[in-house]
Amino acid sequence: MSDEMTFWDHLEVLRWSIFRTLGAILVLFVVAFAFMPSLFDAAILAPTSGDFFAYRLFGGLFSSDFKVDIVNINVTAPFFTHMRTAFMLALVVGFPYLLVEIWLFVKPALYRNEKRGMGLAMLAVAFLFYLGCAVGYLVVFPLTFRFLAGYHIGTGILTQISLNSYISTFVSIIFIMGLVFELPVLAWVLGKFGIVNKDMLRKYRRYAIVVLLVLAAVITPTGDPFTLMVVFLPIYLLYEVSILVVPAAAVSE
């Protein structure tokens, strides 16, 4: 049936797919906007207090008297922060639906074996994205924030963290971790096109470790080895998983 569709038919299908996606994001945005005041205190600002449950996961490494007050110096910042965080939450929650729409659009053009592989890939993309966001929220951002909030370059400087600065760091780290965790899927896709294979990834493992260490340092520029390793180890495990999921090199006859 898809073979009989013209270019304009495909364009019409794409247009309605975009409309449905935007509609779903808009509904999720309205819901997130309504609940954001309570979510802001319970979840987004939770890492500013020492009783944040993620800190307790590290045992006695951190004192419980940690407390940082976020200040606002811009009259419009609370409103636009409310809008921004609601939109970001809508994107995170609506991410699987976006994948479903992409899947429904490309599915008619795939062969049966490709449909099976791509369906599993879509599930893996959603799972790894949420897993990366969870690691960013529970591990990477709390450690990074706690280090940076307590860092002092001089005794005469009073550190006050603005609302915009806090939200920018919060959103950036969590989304970056969500995207970084897509490494196995990216490797699988590149392997399908013959760009990478198991032997190549194994051969360049030592160089990859250096690159991943630099990437971990960029994600969390705290400077302390503990936080660096907390970020690096999950990324390196993803590299090893990538070796498992990509195909081996084709043997030439």
With beta carbons less than 8 A apart as the criterion, state whether 119 and 54 touch.
Answer: no
With beta carbons less than 8 A apart as the criterion, state whether 82 and 32 touch.
Answer: no
With beta carbons less than 8 A apart as the criterion, state whether 181 and 215 touch.
Answer: no
Q: What is the residue type of 60?
A: G
pLDDT tens per residue across span 18-64 = 899 999 999 999 999 999 988 998 899 999 988 888 887 776 667 77
Place of tokens 């999950």: 234
pLDDT tens per residue across span 161-201 = 899 989 988 988 898 889 899 899 888 888 877 888 888 99
- Looking at the chain, the whole-number percentage of residues with pLDDT higher than 70 is 88
Task: Give strand ranges (E) for 32-143.
Answer: 70-71
Residue 2 has pLDDT above 80, yes or no: no
Chain centroid to CA 186: 14
For residue 67, the cross-strand partners are 49
pLDDT tens per residue across span 190-226 = 887 788 888 899 999 999 999 999 988 887 766 667 7
More confident residue, 75 or 250: 75
Task: Give strand ranges (E) for 13-106.
Answer: 70-71
Place of tokens 């490797």: 187
Q: What is the pTM of this model?
A: 0.81
Question: What pLDDT is stored for residue 103 in this prediction?
Answer: 79
Which helix (H) or strand (E) element contains residue 164?
helix 163-180
CA dihedral 172, 174, 176, 181 (to 10 degrees): 180
For the chain, the structural domain boundaries read 2-181
Determine the Cα angle at 225 with ends 219 and 229, to 5°: 60
